[in-house]
């Protein structure tokens, strides 16, 4: 992955993770799952304010979500 794309994805990911998690600890719990489970298009859409793709991604892959991120999602009613 080229450096510019990596920087854009990192910034986009921060916005996407904010959709499901509000604290730094919660963001860290879900960050690996977003990268592992969600598509680049879902992450990019979240950065533009459409967080439905991230939620759909987590719903579609609920059994694959890490225990830490699962707790975050449950704490936020998902």
Question: What contacts 55, CB < 8 A, 6 or more positions away?
Answer: 19, 20, 78
pLDDT at residue 46 in the model: 84
Domain ranges of the chain: 3-75
Full-prediction pTM beyond 0.75? no
Taking alpha carbons only, the member of 39, 22, 28 closest to residue 58 is: 39
The H-assigned helical ranges of the chain are 3-20, 24-37, 40-47, 52-60, 67-75
- Sorted by sequence, the CB contacts under 8 Å of residue 41 that are 6+ apart come out as 53
The CB density around residue 65, as the number of other CB atoms within 10 Å, is 23
Query: Taking residues 3-9, what's their average pLDDT?
Result: 52
Report the pLDDT value the prediction gives residue 47, as an integer from 0 to 100.
81
């Amino acid at each position: 992955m080229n450096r510019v794309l990596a920087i854009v994805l990192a910034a986009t990911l921060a916005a996407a993770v904010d959709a499901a998690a509000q604290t730094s600890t919660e963001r860290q719990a879900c960050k690996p799952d977003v990268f592992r489970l969600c598509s680049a298009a879902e992450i990019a859409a979240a950065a533009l304010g459409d967080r439905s793709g991230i939620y759909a991604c987590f719903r579609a892959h609920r059994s694959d979500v890490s225990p830490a991120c699962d707790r975050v999602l449950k704490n936020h009613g998902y």
